[in-house]
Structure 1
C-alpha cells in the first residue's frame, strides 16, 4: 500500500545515562517496520518505511538511504531531513562524528556520490559538483562555509537554473573525498551549539548542506542537473523542561516556530490545499523545490526512549505519521519526482522524465534519457536504453525500500 511519496524512517537512540535504570517507553520492531510507544499507560503503535532500534549502527542506517542519495547523481532533487526533540540523536544520524564508523549521513553521502561519479566516467559521464552549507538561526541565514558569516537579513532564496541557493552564500567545488570532509568539518565548527538541561550540545539552528551536481555525456549529447539537500533540524523543546532562558529561550521560540511552519506545509500538502505556505519560514522556502512535488524526500524521525521524553516522542511520532501520509505534488500540482535531464542541443519539455509518486527508494538507473527517438542513451550507472521507450521499468527499480 503506497501511502504517499514521503518516506519516513524511524530511529530510536540508546537510553541516555541520565535515565538511570528507568525502562524504555519505546519498543522498536525493525522486521515489522513498527514502533510502539507507551505513554500514560496507553499503547501507541506506529508503522513507517523503516525502523531502527538502539543497536542499529551508522552504516546500517546509511545503507537504507544509499540508493536515494545516489539518485541525485541521476538528475533528481533529493532531500533528507532529521526531525525530533532535542537530544534525540538527529545530529548523530546526519553528521555523526570522526572519520570512521561513526560518520553520519552527510559525509557518507558525499563519499557515495563521488565514488559513483568516478565509476561512471567509464560510461562517458563527466561530473562537476559544488556545495554550500547554510545555517538558519533565529530566522536568519548564516554561511557556514564563510566561518559562520551572517548574511544580510533581506537575502533572498533563489530558485534558478534548476537549483536552490541563498544569495551571497559561498559555493565551493567538491572534487575529492578529502576536500569534502574538510569542508564539512569547517562548516560544523562554525555552527551555533549551546548547552541546555536536556542536551549538553544542543543545536540552536537548522543546517542545510546542499550539493549541486552537473553531468554531461558527450556521446548522447545530454546533460543533467541534480541536487542533494541534507538537513539537520534543530530539536523541538519545551521551555520548562529545557530550562532555556534569555537568548536560549529566544532561540527555542524561533526553532519551534519554524518547525510549526514545516508542519503547516505538510498539513497543506496532505489536505491537497491549493495554497502551501512555503514562504512562512526561511526553512520551508529553502526546501520548496523538494517538498513541492518535483523531488524525492525522506524524513528521519529520531526518538529518545527515556520515560521523561514520552510526550515529546508522541508528538514526533504523530508528526511523522502525518508526513508519511503526504503525497507530494497534491492540490492540483503535477506530482512525481522529475529527473532534470536535457539535450545539450536545446531543452525540450518532453525530455523531462517524471516519476509517479512513490514511497520507494530510487536509483533512477532505468529511466529514459532525452534524445531523438530510436537512439540509445547511456544512463548514469551504464544502463543502455532506447530513447522513447517505456519508462515503466523505473517504477519497478523504484521499490528497493519496502512501503507499508
Structure 2
C-alpha cells in the first residue's frame, strides 16, 4: 500500500528496526568494552593486593595512598556495574518498544486499509447520491410541469364549464360545510340496527373541491353514502378568503354590464349569515379592519366593487344602495325614515313594471361613495332585521335580508353627467337618504323625473348586485318555537318552499312560473328567472343532528343547478329619452 510520498509503511518500519538494531549493537559493544576494562581493573587490583602483601616495609604515607587508591577503584567498579545494569535495562526497554512499535505499525496498516476502503465506498455513495439528486430534480421539475399543466387544464375546464353554464343559463351552485360547533353536541343519541351514531358525529365532508359525501345514517333507514356534485365545495377548513376568491369574478362581470345575484341558502345555524356578512358580536355586526380575515362576502364584495370603480374616471358613475327584508311574507324598507329622520322599517308593496321586472315603488335608495358608507347602511339595516332566539340558534334571523347595490355608468362620450343628488341640494330640497325614491321605480317621484328631463337623451349602463342572506329553514319540533315565532317559522318555510317550486317550474319548463306565490320569489324574480348571473351558496352543518335538513338543502342545490334559463345578458348602454 503506497502512501502520499510513494514510500510504503513496511519500508519505514524496516528502516526504524535497522536503526534500533544498530543502536543495540553499539550498546552491546560498549558493554563488552566496559566488561574488558572491568576485568583489567580486577587484574590490576589483584596484582596490587599481591604487591601489598609482599611489601611489609611500606611507610605510613605509602600505606595511606594504597588505601585511598583501593577505595577509588572500588567506587569506580560500583559505578561501572550500575552503568552496565542500566544499559541492560535500557536495551530491554528498547527491545520491548521495538516489538510494540512493530505491532502498532501492523495494526495501523490494517486500519489504513479499512479507511481507504471506506473512502472508496463513500466516493461510490456520493456518486450514487449525485445521480439520485439529479434524478430527483428532474422528477420534481417534471412534477411541477405536470402540476402547472393540471392547473391550466383545470382552469381551462372551469372557464369552459362557466361558459357552458352561461350559454345554458344554469344557476351556479357552491356548497360550504361549516365546522362542528358546541351546540351540535347533545346528550341523546340515535341508534341504528348496526351501530350507535352520535348526533354530533361528522357525517358530511368534502372529498374534493367539487364533491360532497354524506353518510346517511337515519333511524329506521339503511346506512348509505350519497355524493353530491357542485361547481365548488368548501370544506370546514376553507376560510372566508377562499370562498370570496370564487365570488370576485362575478363582480368584474357586474362592471362589464351583467346583473349579479349572490344568495346563501340553508337551515338555521348552518353559517349563512357568517358566510355573507362575517362574525356577529353582541347582536351587531362589526366590519373592522381587525376582523378583516373573518369578513364575509358582502363587505368583501363592496370593497372589490369600489376598487374596480376607482379605476374609472371621476364623475363617470354613481352607486346607490337599498336594504329590504321579507318578514312574514311582507317587504320592509329598512332604510326608510320617518319625519324625524329615524329609521322605521316601512312596509312596501311589490309589483311588476311595464318591462316585466319586479319593482318596489317608493323604495329608498341611498347614494354611497365608498365601502365605509355602504357598510354603515348595511349595519343600520341589520339593526332593524327581525331576530329571535330558538333552540337551534341563539340569534336566529327570522327574515330574508336583501341588499341591492345599483351602479350607473355613463358612456364615454357623455360630458355633463351628474348623479341625481349632485348640485345645489337646498334648491332641490333634497337630502341624503330621503330626498328621492327609487329612480328605477315605475312610480318615481317628481325630483327624479326632473332629473331625467334635465339630462335629456342620455347614454348610460345600469347594473344591479343583489346580496341575499335568506332566513334559515328549520324543523318546528327541533327549534321549539311557539306562538308568534311559530308563525314566523311557517312563513319562512313557505317562502323557501315557494323558491323551490319556482326553480322546479323553471327546470321543467312550465308555461307558468309561480313567482307571485311568495314576496321573496317575486322580489328575486329577475335574478332567479331573468338574465342575471346567479350564485347560490349552500350552507350545511356536518352534524348527524341536522342530517334531514342538510339533505333537504343539498337536494335544493341539486335542483337549482339543473335550472336552465336564458343565458346572462350584458346590460348594453341604455338610451333614456323622456319622449320615448
- After TM superposition, the score normalised by the length of structure 2 is 0.55
TM-aligned CA deviation for residue 161 of structure 1: 8.1
Give the equivalent residue in structure 1 for 2:572.
341
Aligned to 2:413, the other structure's residue is in SS state: coil
Quote the Cα distance in structure 1 between the aligned partners of 2:184 and 2:481: 20
Within 5 A, what are the aligned runs for 1:5-404? 5-20=170-185, 22-31=200-209, 33-40=210-217, 41-97=223-279, 98-99=286-287, 100-121=292-313, 126-146=316-336, 147-152=343-348, 155-159=349-353, 164-219=358-413, 222-328=459-565, 335-342=566-573, 344=575
Aligned to 1:119, the other structure's residue is in SS state: coil
Quote the Cα distance in structure 2 between the aligned partners of 1:163 and 1:278: 11
Q: Is the 8 A contact 2:350 2:358 kept in 1?
A: no
Q: Is the 8 A contact 1:211 1:228 kept in 2?
A: yes
Q: Is the 8 A contact 1:12 1:303 kept in 2?
A: yes
TM-aligned CA deviation for residue 150 of structure 1: 3.2
Q: Is the 8 A contact 1:75 1:227 kept in 2?
A: no
Deviations 1:253-272 (A, max 9, x none): 00000001000100001001
The 1:159/1:238 distance shift into structure 2, 3 A limit, reads same
Higher strand share: 1
Q: Is the 8 A contact 1:151 1:169 kept in 2?
A: no
Q: CA RMSD in A?
A: 2.2
Higher helix share: 2
Give the equivalent residue in structure 2 for 1:394.
none
Could you say which structure has the larger radius of gyration? 2
Deviations 1:142-188 (A, max 9, x none): 12223352315xx1235478975422221100111111111111111
Aligned to 1:151, the other structure's residue is in SS state: strand
**Runs of 4+ in structure 1 displaced over 2 angstroms?**
1-4, 18-23, 156-165, 217-223, 342-347
Quote the Cα distance in structure 1 between the aligned partners of 2:481 and 2:523: 27
Question: Is there any run of 5+ residues in structure 1 with no aligned partner, and where?
Answer: 329-334, 348-404
Q: Is the 8 A contact 1:151 1:168 kept in 2?
A: no
Quote the Cα distance in structure 1 between the aligned partners of 2:518 and 2:251: 26
TM-aligned CA deviation for residue 246 of structure 1: 0.5
Quote the Cα distance in structure 1 between the aligned partners of 2:253 and 2:477: 42
Deviations 1:115-155 (A, max 9, x none): 10111228xx8111111000000011112223352315xx1
Quote the Cα distance in structure 1 between the aligned partners of 2:355 and 2:252: 21
Question: Is there any run of 5+ residues in structure 2 with no aligned partner, and where?
Answer: 1-160, 186-197, 218-222, 280-285, 337-342, 415-457
The 1:303/1:44 distance shift into structure 2, 3 A limit, reads same
Q: Is the 8 A contact 2:255 2:463 kept in 1?
A: yes
Give the equivalent residue in structure 1 for 2:451.
none
Quote the Cα distance in structure 1 between the aligned partners of 2:413 and 2:322: 31
Quote the Cα distance in structure 2 between the aligned partners of 1:344 and 1:265: 32
Q: Is the 8 A contact 1:158 1:167 kept in 2?
A: no
TM-aligned CA deviation for residue 212 of structure 1: 1.0
Quote the Cα distance in structure 1 between the aligned partners of 2:402 and 2:461: 22
Q: How many residues align?
A: 336
Q: Is the 8 A contact 1:269 1:276 kept in 2?
A: yes
Deviations 1:237-263 (A, max 9, x none): 110010010011000000000001000
Quote the Cα distance in structure 1 between the aligned partners of 2:471 and 2:485: 13
The 1:163/1:280 distance shift into structure 2, 3 A limit, reads closer
Aligned to 1:101, the other structure's residue is in SS state: helix
The 1:18/1:92 distance shift into structure 2, 3 A limit, reads same
Deviations 1:55-103 (A, max 9, x none): 1111111111111123222221111111111100011111113322211
Quote the Cα distance in structure 1 between the aligned partners of 2:355 and 2:364: 17
The 1:343/1:81 distance shift into structure 2, 3 A limit, reads closer
Quote the Cα distance in structure 2 between the aligned partners of 1:300 and 1:201: 21
TM-aligned CA deviation for residue 222 of structure 1: 4.8
Aligned to 1:339, the other structure's residue is in SS state: coil
Q: Is the 8 A contact 1:78 1:229 kept in 2?
A: yes
Q: Which has the higher contact order (CA 8 A, sep 6+)?
A: 1
